[in-house]
Amino acid sequence: MGIEVTGIFGLLVLILDIWAIINTVSSSASLGSKLLWVLLILLLPVLGVIIWFFFGPRGK
């Protein structure tokens, strides 16, 4: 029994993930830090965005 993210909620998660990745890549953090944040967001889409929102690097 896995958790499925479908419909409007899935689209919202996808949009938030893309937004978080773009902001992370455009931030002034180091390359290693950016890579770790992008991997976290990609591997844990919902939880990764929540963690990024509170602790992640922001764009310029």
Q: What is the structure's pLDDT at 60?
A: 62
pLDDT higher than threshold 80 for residue 47:
yes
pLDDT tens per residue across span 2-45: 666 678 888 899 999 999 999 999 999 999 999 999 999 999 99
Please list the residues that pair with 27 across neighbouring strands: 59
**3-class DSSP assignment, residue 58:** coil
Q: What is the structure's pLDDT at 40?
A: 95
**3-class DSSP assignment, residue 31:** helix
Joined tokens for residue 57 = 């690097």
Q: What is the structure's pLDDT at 39?
A: 96
Please list the residues that pair with 15 across neighbouring strands: none
Which residues have C-beta within 8 Å of that of residue 23, sequence separation ≥ 6?
56, 57, 58, 59
